[in-house]
Amino acid sequence: SPTLEAARACGAGIVVDSGFSYTHSLPVFQRRVVGQAVKRLDAGGKVLTNYLKELVSYRSVNVSDMFHVVDACKEEVCRVCKEGAVSALQACAQKGGGSQVVQ
């Protein structure tokens, strides 16, 4: 898989793979994935897009029926945060329908 190839390519660090429905984090040490530390969060791009739609609709224009527009905006302007990622994703997961971080 592309995620494992990326993990093997780096010497040490974390590979974060955020898809439509799930987000995985794979810690890498000495070019190997630390299997027992891999985490899966039951929240991905869809949850984040829906949360962004809710925020924009609440504060401005109703975009509840414009998933593709909001998704394109999200992909254009969103950035990776370096700290607090787990708590931020947990908050989005809870807001998006009760998903939780699997530990």
Q: What's the domain range around 68?
A: 45-98
Give me the pLDDT at residue 99, please: 42
Which amino acid, residue 19?
G
Comparing 94 with 43, the larger pLDDT belongs to: 43
In 3D, which of 17, 80, 4, 5 has the Cα closest to residue 43? 17
Domain assignment of residue 2, yes or no: yes
User: 56-75 pLDDT, tens per residue?
Assistant: 887 778 887 888 888 888 87
- Count structural domains, the chain: 2
Residue 94 pLDDT: 58
Read off the tokens for 8. Answer: 């093997």
pLDDT at residue 46, as a whole number: 86
Residues 49 and 93 in one domain: yes
Same domain, 29 and 50: no
Quote the crossing angle between the two packed helices 85-95 and 45-59, to the nearest 10°: 70
DSSP-based three-state secondary structure for 33: strand
Beta-sheet pairing, 32-33 with 39-41: unpaired
Could you give the count of Cα atoms lying within 13 Å of 10 in the half-sphere of its Cβ?
A: 16
> For residue 103, is it within any domain?
no
53 and 93 in a single domain? The answer is yes
